Structure formats: C-alpha cells, structure tokens
Structure 1
C-alpha cells in the first residue's frame, strides 16, 4: 500500500512528533479497513437517497406549488438529491484511488475540489432549509394570524433562493485557495491533473473567513435553530393534545355540550386544524431525524476549528477523511428517510406517490376516465 495515491499529501509536515501521534491514532491497517467499509456503506445510503429524493421531487411537482410547504420541501429534496450525487462522485474517486486505478487526474485531491468541498457547503444548505421549515411551522402555531399573510409561495421561493445563494454558492470560492495543476509523476512517467494550495496571505485569509462563516458558523447556527424550533413545536403539540383530550372528555360527560371556560382559554393558544397539526408533526419528524444525523457534522466542524492540522492537507488528514465519511453516512440517511415520513403523514403525497409508482390502479382508472370525459367535452 505504500504506492497508494492516498499518501501523496501525507508526510508533508515537518512536525515528526505530531506525525507519530497521528499514526498511532489511526494505523494503516485500521485506516484502510475503515475507509473501505465507509465507501460501500456510504454508497448504499447514497443510492437510496438518490432514488427516494427523485421520487419525492416527482410527487411534489405533480402536487404543484400552490402551498408554501411544497416549495420548501421540494427545495430540501433537490438539495438532498444533489448532495447524494456529489457524495457518489467522491466515493467513486476514493474507490478508484484505493484500487490504484490509473487515471489522468489525482482522484482523491481532485474529488475534494469537485465533490467533497461542495458537499460540505451543500450540507449547510440542507441545514438552513430545514431550519426555515421548522421556524416557519413554529411561527404558524405561535402567531398564526400574523404569519399566514407573510408565508406565501412567492416569499417561500425567494427564501429558498436566498438560502442557496448564501450557503452553497460560496463553496466555489474554494478555487481561490486551491488550484488545478498538471504534475509530472516520475515513477509513472506520466502527467496527471492535481491540486495544490495557493500559499499567499490573501488566499489563506479568504479561506479562513469563508470556512469560518459558511462552513462552521452557518451550519452550527442552523442546527441550533432547528433544535430550538423542534423543542418548541413538541411543547406546543403536547398543549394541543392536552386541550383536545380535555375537550373530548368534557363533551362525553355532558348530554348537551357547553363551552368549557378553562378549555376555551387554552383553545385560544392551542387550537389549530387537524390538517395543520399533521403537517407540524411531519415537520417535527423531519427535524428530529435531521438533528440526529447532523450531530457528527457538528462534532467534525468543531474539531476543524479547534485542531489546526485537522484538514485534508494536515497531519490529521486520515481522521479528517474518516470523519467526512461518517458525515456522508449520516446526512443521506435523513434524505432517504424523509420520503417515508411524507408517505406516512401526508395523505395527498401518499395518493400521488401510489399513482406515480402504479400502486393505486383504481385511482389511475378514475383519472383515465376523467381525462376521457374531459376530452369528449
């Protein structure tokens, strides 16, 4: 394994004590075993995410975008789909590097600039879209009369564009810090495309600011918003459930139901339609899965900030790559599971989905008959 392309950037640090420590933390044998397992496990999850989000996008397109929630959920599905595609490209490159496949470019380093770096920023986009969905549902419950006039399809679409511009588009600034070069490899007697860091003060400062804001502060802040909003939604749902239980028990005890004063005061705060309650429960489920799957990302981001050598070209490069694959296992899981939540909790989504995959033949026959009648008119 000494000629493996993974070693191209390893050992380029003069701090021998740190190199010894890094090797002790993760030996060659453990590194490659973990690495190979992560590649296959990650790709299985990525394939599920690609299929699931493709179906979700198709269903939401058929449902239309008259509802603001359909717009935000479609944006979430598109980002999850794109994230899975980028991670698939990274997996393919690392798999080829592991098996020493000879290609005209350095697989691991080129994949970082074309896939890995962008997927890291895109995970921040997913976090902010989830935060927006959670925050919007939270406001709709807490102050419904004021928010419903503001949460419109056009406003939601604009919010999705702003989130993408502020979180994902800055990922292309990484080309200020790193650049593609053609490098001659003597032992291979060939020239390959590789990447090298641009070591000037301006590029380094630009990278630090960009990563600090877009790669660390933004995702951690989004994670905090999702966490807080989810807690508030759960508390409010419990209030709603308690109020409905008290009203039901009061009506069952009276032959002619009368308005309960205590219940009416709670109703002013807790009363929402059952349709709205189902939507809130669905958002809580999505946010909860996101929180669980995003915890490894938060830990990795904190390590990136605390430890200077924890990066692709540092002493702890192996740990950085392994932690990246742990993240790649967690994030696509959220995108894969979301479609199950939609199917379980959203009746319209379930109906359209069944027609789309040809599970609801009776519904398809009714739709076909309706189309024939419309054409005959």
Structure 2
C-alpha cells in the first residue's frame, strides 16, 4: 500500500479543505514543476470522477477489511487453543497477527478519509496525521508479512531437504526467535520516520480551533534516515522477500509432484509390506525417500498460502517498480490521482489474501478444523440436528 494522502492544486477545492490550515503541511513535497503537464491528470480523472471512485474504493476496501479482521481473529483464537508446541503454529500465528493489525490500520485510514470527505471536523489534520499513524505502519507491515511468508516457505523447503533432521533444525524456540528478528528488521525501521516528522498543534484561523498537524524536521540526519528506511524496507525488502517466496514455492511444487508420482508408483500389496517388515534397511530407505503424510499436508497448505500471497503481491511489485522508474508517478506528481487510485486498488490484495488464509487452514489442517468447529459450536449444532432427526 502506498502511504495514502490527498494533495490539492491551487485551483481545486475539496470539502475537506475547510478544516485544514491555510498552508497545510504534507509529508512529501511536490516535485512536479512543469505547469504544462498539470492539465493531464484532470483530463484522466475529473474532480467528480475522482471523488466518486475514491469513495467507492473506501467502501469496498472496508468491506474486505472487515472480513480480514473477523477471519484473522478466529484464526488467532484457534492457534491459541492449539498451543505453540509446533513451530508452524508460531509462524502462522505471527502471520495472522500482522494481517489483523494491517486490517485495523487500513480501517483507521478509511475512517479518517471518509470523515474528512464528508466535512466532519476532526481535531487533527486528516491526511497528514493519518499517514503517520496508519499509512506508514501499514506499508512497513507489508514487508513483515512478506518475510514471514518467505520464512514459512523456506521452513518447508528444509523439511523436504532434511526430512529426518527437521525436528532438530526447526524448533519452537528457533521459530520464535526468527519471527522476532523479522519483525525487528522490517517493521521497527518505520519508527525512523518519526525522526523526520513530528506532531504539532496548529491554530486554524478559519475554524478558530487548534488542530493536530505534522511538520517536517529538516535536519540532514533525519532526511538520511527517512530515505534509507523507506528505500530499504519499502522497496528492497519487499521485492527480495517476494523472490524468496517465489523460489521456495516453485521448489515445493516440484517436490510435491515428485512425491505424488512416487506414491502412484508404489503398490501396497501384502507381499511388499511383508518385504519391508522383514527388511528394516529398505523400510528406512523408504522413509528417507519421502516426507510423512503429515508433513506433506503441511507443505500443501504452505504452497496454497504462498500462491495466494504471490498473486496478491504481484500488483504491489509492479506499483513499487513504477514508483521507482517513473518520476511523475508519485503522490504529488502529474499522475497523483491515478497514483492514489491505483495504490488503493493494489492495497486490496493484502486483506483479500489475509481473509483467504483461514479457508486454507480449515480445508487442509485437520487439527485447525476440529478446534475451529468446536470454537464456533458447529459440532454441537450438527449433533443436536441428528438428535432431533
């Protein structure tokens, strides 16, 4: 998700402007200085079209985010009941926590933008304060989700490469430490943004009130921290994590096909079972040649999660590359409205992905399905229905 904000030119007035200060401070400066190009953006999206489309995206995204909040809340409740003795439960819980937090932050952004565009007087500058209290964290958390997904995929690759040593290689404590390191390296750098911008109470002469706003800190060190953190955590890390997920997913799919072919070629006749029982060496070799059925189901679940993540993350990668390659495609460039709309549409991929994960868990994890049914009392309802019949 791009850090969303709305920028107006001198000739366009939106309903939100009556609550802003006379010279509002924005998180980013406008670097587009070519007046001859200013008519291009309005030609693509008029004021009315942009307003209607933006409100439609707010309502649509909020509906999806509500589903993500409910789905991840249920997933967290199930994982807590399952416990954290299995390393996979720890990493999947961390993924659900990040998805839930991102949905809440997205909801906060939508609420502030909706109130601003409906002339609700807020005690703060809607776009600036919202960007620092929701948009920045959302963007950095997306990198965290990407790296946790990459770690889960890499973990399953280790299970394939070392099926008999996986218990020693992947432990609950090691998984917890790995997830904690990922969070520290991907999300915590977002706090460097607060060395570049700070909150300040500003008097609004039009409303005769004081509202909370943000102002930039123009120190060289603060600017350097901002540039490094945004480029590394907002561009390099997401693209690198996407590459890791893609490579690990391909390896897992290839290995699953090998396992399927191996199972099809094996006959379970009594004579062969007796032969394996009489020959422990052959039995051990067969165990080394394949992962257990439990591990195979877990690998299939991870592949499904990774594929959904890849599908939802491809538009984000395209958006990041366009943002880097095209100077005018930014928040305050000529294509600012297209940038905002496309950023909002691209951002919908993450809550959609987070909402689908619970369906994957329910379909492919028997323990998760059992605990989930008990949690929502589905088993009791089925039992009562059979008793009535």
TM-score (norm 1): 0.87
1:343 aligns to 2:362 (yes or no): yes
Alignment of 1:1-377 (within 5 A): 2-5=13-16, 14-248=33-267, 251=268, 256-257=271-272, 270-361=289-380
* RMSD over equivalenced CA pairs, Å: 2.7
Q: CA deviation at 1:329?
A: 1.0
Separation of aligned partners in 1, 2:325 and 2:250? 29
Deviates more, 1:45-54 or 1:301-310: 301-310
Separation of aligned partners in 2, 1:3 and 1:345? 49
Separation of aligned partners in 2, 1:203 and 1:15? 28
Residue by residue, what CA displacement relative to the aligned partner does 1:276-325 show, whole Å, maximum 9, x if unpaired?
11100000001010111111221222122223454445444333322331
Q: 1:276 to 1:362 in 2, by over 3 A?
A: farther
Q: 1:174 to 1:294 in 2, by over 3 A?
A: same
Deviates more, 1:179-188 or 1:124-133: 179-188
Q: 1:291 to 1:154 in 2, by over 3 A?
A: same
Q: For structure 1, which runs of at least 5 residues remain unmatched after alignment?
A: 366-377
Q: For structure 2, which runs of at least 5 residues remain unmatched after alignment?
A: 1-11, 277-281, 385-389
Separation of aligned partners in 2, 1:291 and 1:265? 37
Whether the 8 Å contact between 1:182 and 1:193 is mirrored in structure 2 is yes
Whether the 8 Å contact between 2:29 and 2:332 is mirrored in structure 1 is no
Separation of aligned partners in 1, 2:292 and 2:165? 17
Whether the 8 Å contact between 1:11 and 1:19 is mirrored in structure 2 is no
Count of residues in Structure 1 that have an aligned counterpart in Structure 2: 359
Q: CA deviation at 1:364?
A: 10
Whether the 8 Å contact between 1:243 and 1:267 is mirrored in structure 2 is no
Q: 1:203 to 1:4 in 2, by over 3 A?
A: farther
Residue by residue, what CA displacement relative to the aligned partner does 1:15-69 show, whole Å, maximum 9, x if unpaired?
3134333333433233222211110111011111111111111101110110000
Separation of aligned partners in 2, 1:198 and 1:24? 35
Q: Which is bigger in relative contact order (C-alpha 8 A, separation at least 6)? A: 2
Residue by residue, what CA displacement relative to the aligned partner does 1:62-101 show, whole Å, maximum 9, x if unpaired?
1011000000000100110001000000010111111121
Q: 1:189 to 1:14 in 2, by over 3 A?
A: farther
TM-score (norm 2): 0.85
Whether the 8 Å contact between 1:182 and 1:191 is mirrored in structure 2 is yes
Secondary structure of 2:198's counterpart equals strand
Q: 1:306 to 1:126 in 2, by over 3 A?
A: same
